[in-house]
Amino acid sequence: MLLSFAARIPAEMPLVPLFAESPSDDAWHDVRAPGGYEAWRIVALDRKQNLLLTAALWNGYPLDPAYASAYRRYIQHPTRTAPPMPGDYASEELAIYQHGKCIASSLTRLPYIKQFPAISNDGGHLSLGSSHLVVEPVHSIDRLDLTTLTSSHHWLIANPLGRLQGELQIGTNQFSMDAVSCHDRRYGAAPIEVPQWIEGCVFFCDACALFQATPTTSWLVEATSSLRVIDEPLTRDGRTSGPWMISYPAAISLADRAVLTNPGILDSSPMRLRLMYEAKSSQGEKGQAFVEISHPHRLRNPILSFFSPRPGSGLAPITWSSIPPADKSSPSPPGHARAPSSSP
């Protein structure tokens, strides 16, 4: 008589967690699932200079052809192939755009990232080679933890809206930045297996909106002095074919909060298209939106995968440190002590 697989597992055999649970928004989740990922990303817009900065740190870069290939080999031959760990495919991504053109970009392989930037209520310092920047949150608000796609994919948002200021030196280009910024975190215990993945950040004067979407489902968060999940679908109107046959919408409606129109292409690859949209809120306020459209499933195509960017040597890694709280003349009374940022 054949026993089921479950019946043959010893009762005392421990289950290895796929990631570490933590109540802190700046904690490292130590994702240990093959094909999984953990990331921190910041997008900053300096309107006066029409300058856009986007930077990200990844343990397990989802659009890395080598990582996708190693995961497929493991799935096909799990007993003969070592599982690809996210930390073995850590990467740093950086790009600078001005007036709609890419003036610098880098995708760099990094050692395993054991800590990610933490932007506390007091802000944080970011350094990139000789560049030194300060991020200060506009509002101190609680953390939001959403699950997207499945319960294996987490989207963490805490103090997302901020000001990014300082000197930025990229190659021969030097800028004094005074930008509005938005940052978030995400981690997952599996690859992002969808035909198309759209995500974006919309900037207004004192607010921002963040969204993620598949062809059938969407998630929208509004960040002002608080974080609010908008339980209404994102809709897309019109369809234009871009480079590498990646289509993009002529307009995107973020429920009744804002409409994005007049897209302009920033750059492209076989796996991803980056665009800037003009934004208009329901109150008539004008803003701008940075949008990425990715096709993770294209990594299965050997031709498209061959032409996709691969992490290599590049710019110096991003480093960071927290900003100490300002000195106070006297300790705060217990009744007025600030609650932790992870408090409900």
Question: Burial of 1 by CB count in 10 Å (0-12 exposed, 13-18 middle, 19+ buried)?
Answer: exposed
Provide mean pLDDT across the span 159-180. 90
Name, of 143-152, 166-175, 257-266, 322-331, the range with top average pLDDT.
257-266
Residue 4 has pLDDT above 60, yes or no: no
329 pLDDT band, cuts 50/70/90, is: very low
Is 113 within a domain? yes
19 pLDDT band, cuts 50/70/90, is: low
Is 80 within a domain? yes
338 pLDDT band, cuts 50/70/90, is: very low
Rounded distance between C-alpha atoms, residue 273 and residue 45, angstroms? 18
What is the enclosing helix (H) or strand (E) of 70? helix 65-76
The predicted structure's pLDDT at residue 142: 73
More confident call, 4 vs 18: 18
Q: Which are the contacts of 75, defined by CB distance < 8 A and separation ≥ 6? A: none
Is 318 within a domain? no
Is 64 within a domain? yes
Q: Which are the contacts of 4, defined by CB distance < 8 A and separation ≥ 6? A: none
Rounded distance between C-alpha atoms, residue 298 and residue 272, angstroms? 10
Provide mean pLDDT across the span 263-271. 97
Rounded distance between C-alpha atoms, residue 203 and residue 210, angstroms? 9
The predicted structure's pLDDT at residue 71: 96
Residue 271 has pLDDT above 90, yes or no: yes
Is 200 within a domain? yes
Which of 29-33, 56-60, 291-295 shows the lowest mean pLDDT across its residues?
29-33
The predicted structure's pLDDT at residue 128: 83
Is 339 within a domain? no
Are the C-beta atoms of 86 and 60 separated by less than 8 Å? yes
The predicted structure's pLDDT at residue 267: 96
Number of domains in the chain: 1
Residue 164 has pLDDT above 80, yes or no: yes
173 pLDDT band, cuts 50/70/90, is: confident
Under DSSP, is residue 96 helix (H, G, I), strand (E, B) or coil? strand
More confident call, 186 vs 316: 186
The predicted structure's pLDDT at residue 315: 72
CA dihedral 275→237→278→259, nearest 10 degrees, is -130
Q: Is the pTM of this model over 0.75?
A: yes
Q: What is the DSSP string of 230-288?
A: --S-EEEE--EE-GGG-EE-SEEEETTTEEEEEEEEEEE-SSEEEEEEEEEETTS-EEE
- Residue 259's DSSP bridge partners are 253, 280
Rounded distance between C-alpha atoms, residue 283 and residue 81, angstroms? 56
Structural domain for 259, as ranges: 28-306
Rounded distance between C-alpha atoms, residue 176 and residue 179, angstroms? 10
More confident call, 206 vs 25: 206
Is 169 within a domain? yes
The predicted structure's pLDDT at residue 21: 62
Is 5 within a domain? no
- Taking Cα atoms as reference points, which of 197, 148, 187 lies closest to residue 299? 197
